[in-house]
Structure 1
């Protein structure tokens, strides 16, 4: 049908509704005509009416959520992320058992760089269902918030669920490389006698690769050396104080 024919269809269904406002099918058919004209708001309005008149007929609710999703996706592609988020949220509230709407909301939050809210939503999703891709998404968010330990744990969970997941493997290798680099820097600093900064760098290595025992051993040795150095300084101060007292 042409645009003009769909417009005529809208008028016809409107006349039918005026004659009988309780005729559910007329609202549903008018919604379809509006949808063909890309008038998503009017389509959604008519489907809401159909849903109110016939709540027991699930197909109207199903169609309403699809229209909200479709309109939201169009707005998302136009970079109207806030409006898209509102529509995806509406669809999610109407059908909370469908995670696809929530994931579109997460995509909107990511696009708007609202990472903290995104992290909260992703964490809620993982409480309901363990999914390797969602673990990887949360790992990336943890990496953004400079939380390598949590990032590592989520990547390990993703690999456990899907052992050869390419993205998880790549990100894990990146973390392990960061850990190795931090350890090398810690060694150089320790050789220079800069034990405090060396300890900071080895702790960074541990956060990026918490399953490597060699990093903990190096950290323990650093702590022992630092404790001895601190004790030595304290003893020197005590001796100096004693000498000053004797002189006076």
Structure 2
């Protein structure tokens, strides 16, 4: 009995010692070890050899090497299925191609081109939902690919247009068909709500949001021409003039037989404004020839707008085509004889033509041009000075002296006016 008690006391003493050495480990239900990591690794290797002997089948490096080989085999096999699918698409066998693309994706689901090709095959057979799903899978793998986002939007647009046409066809066969009537009303309501949101966002200056909403409106009701006119206006504000023109031309093509309608007239007006804005945009960037071509198109459709002639005349003046510039300014003056801006431009052209005549020693013609320039803008001191030089050569002494004095007086007066305005402005 005493011997047994001594053994129990020894065991309790050992447990107490362990607890004192590491109470946390004891409380966690685990035991501490005095072995180092190297000793543990050696023990693990010994246990493996006891079980498997000298075989290298279960070595980690052998397993990794084998995995690399298997990966190459899988990738090559996936590529084979993908290429076969492309061949089947070219043969027009879309369903078989989809099967091949599926096999490729089963082996390698991280290749966006596999999803893209599969989406194209679905699009060929009219399965829009499956097509969009696969395009989105491809986009998720490469979010930076903007072409995929554009393709998704285009596919959705085709799908909605297809649905709209199907509903329209159903209504043409049975105008009272309840489901078709309900679906059509839903599409039109969604379109109007999207158009309203587009207007609000445009007023807020959120052009990206406005484009997104008006595109939604067009997706739901692609036959509403007002949406295209509004989108054209947005493109014009964003200075994407080519896109704006495309939208307006689309509308004009649809209402070509109704040239007296309000839609046609409004679209035609917006198109002319866009041509003019595009021309001004080109003018400020030095593309005068392109600007003239755009203004030619505008004037062809609207011959009573003086601003178009003024702008084209400015382009001709920049190109030193003085005769054409003068013709445009004079045409604008006929439309509005009281516009002083036109008179100033005509005077500037006559002054330039006078300088050319003076250089060519056609002094009498130069005198006439300078006189016309002064009549158009009598406050320009340089015109008097130019005529004074010409009259001096023509030996019109009195006239030359009078022009020189007038030029000097105007120059002093202009400087005094300038400095006076500058002083007032600074105060």
TM-score (ref. length: structure 2)? 0.37
Q: Does 1:25 align with 2:226?
A: yes
Contact 1:85 1:105 in 2 (8 A): yes
Question: Cα offset for 1:32?
Answer: 2.4
What are the equivalent positions in structure 2 for 1:232-247 lying under 5 Å apart?
none
Q: What corresponds to 1:34 in structure 2?
A: 235
Structure 2 residue corresponding to 1:166, chosen from 375, 379, 382: 379
Q: Does 1:112 align with 2:319?
A: yes
- Aligned partners of 1:180, 1:16: CA distance in 2, in Å? 74
Which residues of structure 2 form unaligned runs of 5+?
1-200, 358-364, 404-427
1:144-181 residue CA offsets vs partner (Å, 9 max, x unmatched): 3313133134135426xxxxx412xx244214421453
What are the equivalent positions in structure 2 for 1:138-177 lying under 5 Å apart?
138-146=349-357, 147-155=365-373, 157-158=375-376, 165-167=378-380, 170-177=381-388
Question: Cα offset for 1:35?
Answer: 2.8
TM-score (ref. length: structure 1)? 0.59
Q: Does 1:11 align with 2:215?
A: yes
What are the equivalent positions in structure 2 for 1:162-241 lying under 5 Å apart?
165-167=378-380, 170-179=381-390, 181-182=392-393, 201-202=394-395, 205=396
Q: Does 1:80 align with 2:287?
A: yes
SS in 2 for 1:177: helix
Question: Cα offset for 1:71?
Answer: 1.6
> Which structure is higher in RCO with an 8 Å CA cutoff and minimum separation 6?
1
- Aligned partners of 1:108, 1:117: CA distance in 2, in Å? 10
SS in 2 for 1:65: helix
- Aligned partners of 2:333, 2:207: CA distance in 1, in Å? 45
Question: Cα offset for 1:48?
Answer: 3.1
Aligned pair in 2 of structure 1 residues 144, 49: CA closer, same or farther (>3 Å)?
A: farther
Contact 1:119 1:138 in 2 (8 A): yes
Which residues of structure 1 form unaligned runs of 5+?
160-164, 183-200, 213-248
- Aligned partners of 1:63, 1:113: CA distance in 2, in Å? 30
Contact 2:235 2:243 in 1 (8 A): yes
Contact 1:123 1:138 in 2 (8 A): no
- Aligned partners of 1:125, 1:7: CA distance in 2, in Å? 37
Q: What corresponds to 1:229 in structure 2?
A: none
Question: Cα offset for 1:128?
Answer: 5.5
Aligned pair in 2 of structure 1 residues 138, 112: CA closer, same or farther (>3 Å)?
A: closer
- Aligned partners of 2:384, 2:267: CA distance in 1, in Å? 48
Over the aligned positions, Cα root-mean-square deviation in angstroms equals: 3.2
Question: Cα offset for 1:40?
Answer: 1.2
- Aligned partners of 1:35, 1:128: CA distance in 2, in Å? 27
Aligned pair in 2 of structure 1 residues 135, 4: CA closer, same or farther (>3 Å)?
A: closer
SS in 2 for 1:166: coil
Q: Does 1:137 align with 2:355?
A: no
Q: What is the total number of aligned residue pairs between the two structures? A: 180
SS in 2 for 1:96: coil
